[in-house]
């Protein structure tokens, strides 16, 4: 019996950078490697304030560093977004199913990211690009509300410049800001991509409303539910399947998810 199930370990902030008005990028140093899979998450503690689940944004690594992007959406994340290099936060994890990279080998890979959804999916995008030759066509659709809300702008530029990744960037509206990408929803480009449904695997992460419409668009392109992975958000208090908050019908999102194969959610109407 391990007493440390609920005990956070210290993680020191190496770099804190404002990404947008609402989101802050944090790079952290741990006392030991995290050893995470893409799509996993950690429970972040600010002792005295509480704990919240935060997606891991960095790719799998043997090192002690970890990246995340935090949206100022509550009392805990407000303080987290104000952290600076040298500050120490608490951390438990990694938790959750995550993606298994080898299941994607040999496939065309489509990433559909809405808003903050790019943050967790980046933990999968990075290893896919690092082993680019193992995959077929790679397409990334990333949408956000306005140009000022776009996350990882420099990396999106760099990925597009590689030439071996199709990067489609969208905003809901330009609000008179400079914008060279498209205007519309992340579903809009899907019918025109000429996807090969037999070879495709799609990974989706975004706001709750996004999933149904992207799944409909993918279905229209002939993509089956077993080829679609969804990375879901839920309220979580423990990360280890005990607190009950994240239950989706009979499954716990924190241990059996947050990444699910869509076909595994067929009889779980609470999922999407």
**Residues 6 or more apart from 253 whose CB is under 8 A from it?**
96, 232, 234, 236, 246, 247
Select from 134, 69, 57 the least CA-distant residue to 102: 134
Q: Is 35 in the site for other proteins (CB under 8 A)?
A: no
Instruction: Give the shortest CB-15-to-other proteins separation in angstroms.
Output: 16
Answer whether the bond into residue 139 is a cis peptide, omega within 30°: no
Select from 91, 88, 97, 79 the least CA-distant residue to 42: 91
Q: Which CB sits closer to other proteins, 168 or 246?
A: 246
Q: Is 49 in the site for other proteins (CB under 8 A)?
A: yes
Contact 214, 204 (CB under 8 A): yes
As given in the structure block, the two tokens for residue 93 are: 């994890």
- Helix or strand run (H / E) with residue 160: helix 153-162
Of the candidate residues 18, 35, 73, 164, the single one contacting other proteins (CB under 8 A): 73
Q: Which CB sits closer to other proteins, 137 or 234?
A: 234
**Tokens 């149904």, residue?**
212
Instruction: Give the shortest CB-190-to-other proteins separation in angstroms.
Output: 24
**Per this entry, what is the length of the chain?**
272
Q: Is 240 in the site for other proteins (CB under 8 A)?
A: yes
- Backbone angle region of 38, left / alpha / beta, with phi > 0 → left and psi within -120 to 50 → alpha: beta
Q: Which CB sits closer to other proteins, 106 or 208?
A: 208
Q: Is 225 in the site for other proteins (CB under 8 A)?
A: no
Q: Is 88 in the site for other proteins (CB under 8 A)?
A: yes
Q: Which CB sits closer to other proteins, 108 or 231?
A: 231
Q: Is 74 in the site for other proteins (CB under 8 A)?
A: yes
Q: Is 129 in the site for other proteins (CB under 8 A)?
A: no
Q: Is 71 in the site for other proteins (CB under 8 A)?
A: yes
Instruction: Give the shortest CB-243-to-other proteins separation in angstroms.
Output: 5
Of the candidate residues 77, 97, 142, 187, the single one contacting other proteins (CB under 8 A): 77
DSSP 19-40: -SSSEEEEEEEESS---PPTT-
Q: Is 87 in the site for other proteins (CB under 8 A)?
A: yes
Distance between CA atoms of residues 120 and 109, nearest Å = 16
Q: Which CB sits closer to other proteins, 47 or 158?
A: 47
Q: Is 245 in the site for other proteins (CB under 8 A)?
A: yes
Binding site residues, other proteins, CB under 8 A: 1-8, 10, 12, 45, 47-52, 71, 73-74, 77, 86-88, 90, 207-208, 233-235, 237-238, 240-245, 247-250, 255, 269-270
């Amino acid at each position: 019996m391990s007493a440390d199930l609920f005990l956070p370990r210290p993680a020191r902030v190496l770099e804190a950078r404002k990404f947008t008005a609402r989101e802050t990028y944090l790079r952290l140093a741990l006392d030991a490697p995290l050893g995470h899979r893409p799509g996993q998450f950690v429970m972040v503690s600010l002792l005295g304030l509480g704990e919240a689940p935060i997606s891991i944004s960095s790719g799998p690594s043997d090192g002690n560093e970890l990246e995340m992007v935090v949206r100022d959406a509550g009392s805990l994340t407000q303080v987290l977004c104000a952290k600076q290099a040298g500050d120490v936060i608490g951390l438990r994890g990694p938790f959750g199913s995550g993606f298994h990279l080898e299941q994607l080998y040999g496939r065309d890979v489509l990433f559909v990211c809405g808003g903050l959804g790019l943050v967790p999916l980046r933990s999968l995008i990075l290893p896919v690009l690092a082993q680019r030759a193992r995959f077929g066509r790679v397409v990334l659709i990333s949408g956000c509300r306005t140009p000022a809300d776009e996350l990882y702008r420099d990396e999106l530029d760099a990925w597009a410049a590689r030439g071996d990744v199709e990067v489609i960037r969208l905003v809901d509206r330009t609000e008179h800001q400079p914008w060279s990408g498209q205007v519309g929803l992340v579903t809009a480009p899907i019918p025109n991509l000429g996807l090969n449904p037999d070879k495709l695997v799609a990974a989706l992460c975004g706001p709750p409303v996004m999933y149904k419409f992207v799944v409909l668009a993918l279905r229209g392109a002939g993509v089956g539910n077993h080829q679609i992975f969804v990375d879901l958000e839920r309220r979580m208090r423990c990360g280890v399947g005990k607190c009950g908050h994240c239950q989706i019908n009979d499954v716990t999102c924190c241990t059996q998810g947050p990444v699910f194969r869509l076909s595994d959610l067929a009889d779980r109407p609470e999922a999407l």
